Structure formats: C-alpha cells, structure tokens
Amino acid sequence: MNRAIPIAALLLGGCIVAKRSLAMPPNDQTTVALLTGTLTHPMDDIARHPWFAVRKKGETEWHVYEVGGGGTEADPFRKHHPYLTPILHGLWRGAEAERAAACIEKHAPSVKNYIEGHYIFYPGPNSNTFGDVVLRKCKLSASLPATAIGKDWRGLVGASITSERTGVQLETPIVGLKVGLKEGIEVHVIGLSFGIDLWPPAIILPFGPGRIGFADR
C-alpha cells in the first residue's frame, strides 16, 4: 500500500526526463518554436493549449500565433498568460525556420479564423486542432501532448499522416488510432490519448504533461 502511493502520484502527475530548456538561442538566425501551456485550475492537469512563437533573424520580439490570442511579445515562453507551465515541443532554426516562418505567416491566420468561427471544445475544432493543422500544413515534424484535447480532430471521419510525418492516423470523434515509426501506437477514446511513444520512449497518458518518459523530439 505504501509503495502504491508514490506510483499513483507519478502516474497522475506525469514525469518527463530531459525536458527541453525554455532558454532560446540568440537572434542571429530565424527561430520558430512550438509550445503548450496548461489551462487554469481545474483544467490544469487535463488540458493544454498550443502556440507558435516566431522570431525572424535580427528581431528582438516574437510573433505569436494561437487561437484566442496572438500578436507580438517579448517573452512568450515564461510569461505567456493565462497559460502556465509551458513546455517546448519543437524548435526550428536557420533555413528550416525561414521556411516554417513563411508558411505559418501564410496559413495560420486562415486556420485560426476558421476554428474561432467553428470552435467546439470537444471534439473540435479547437485551439489544439489549430496546432496540429498548422504542423501538418507546414510539414513541421512535432507532436502535441496527449493533454492537447482536440489535436486529433478530423471531422466525423478522417484519415491523414501524423504531425510527425512518420505515420498515419484514422479518427472519429469517439475512437481513433495513430501508428508511426516514431509515434509508436496511440489509441484515442473520446479525445483522450493512450499509447507508447517509440522515439524517444515514453508512455502516453491523458493527464499532466501527457507522457511518462523522455521529452518530445
């Protein structure tokens, strides 16, 4: 019984090994970052919200793209309110970031406008749908966490490549399945994700940071 308590706490709180630093590199190159943050209590352990932060070469401020917000910020990593405990899920630099920045600038506003006009918390489309759609449109290999509910929304029935671009997924609002070389196997039940991430290795769970194991790629 005594051993079960810390194990349960670990599962409920999640544990990420080698979490990515929020300290950003210098502005000598264009930088694009994907982050998520928790919603306020009582949703803080079961739902996260994504945003893209873009800083072009030589600029000192970041351009933020997200549903329900956005604009120019000096520090969208540690002081991005009302979203707390930010986690970095993807970082692109140099020529790759230049391409990503141009694509996000082109597509993110229209994706955002559509979702804000059709917003449904569950099953979607919502702010997490925005993050996943922009990743796939701009061919940026990254994953949103299991607690980004709505990331897998594809309408009534939909199939696509994964946002990591190494697998495929089939989705309905009730159940879905993702299979990939990096993503491993992930089952979705009413928007909640359960599975095993192959690289880096982790157990996918729909609470806390969304995984137990190594940080996202």
Over the stretch 128-169, which tens digit does the pLDDT of each residue have? 999 999 999 999 999 999 999 999 999 999 999 999 999 999
First-to-final CA distance of the chain: 36
Residue for token pair 């997200």: 66
165-198 pLDDT, tens digit per residue, is 999 999 999 999 999 998 899 999 999 999 999 8
* Helical spans, DSSP H, in the chain: 4-13, 94-117, 127-137
More confident residue, 1 or 44: 44
C-alpha span between 178 and 15 (Å, rounded): 22
The sign one gets for the Cα dihedral 14, 18, 20, 23 is: positive
CA distances from 39 to 4, 9, 80, 124 (A): 28, 20, 11, 17
C-alpha span between 150 and 121 (Å, rounded): 7
Mean pLDDT of 191-216: 89
* Helical spans, DSSP H, in 14-152: 94-117, 127-137
Taking 70 as the threshold, does the pLDDT of residue 217 lie above it? no
Do residues 91 and 20 touch, judged by C-beta distance below 8 A? yes
Mean pLDDT of 88-99: 97
C-alpha span between 178 and 79 (Å, rounded): 33
Q: What share of the chain is helix, strand, coil (3-state, %, to 5)?
A: 20, 30, 45
pTM, rounded to two decimals: 0.89
pLDDT at 182: 87
State which amino acid sits at residue 73. E
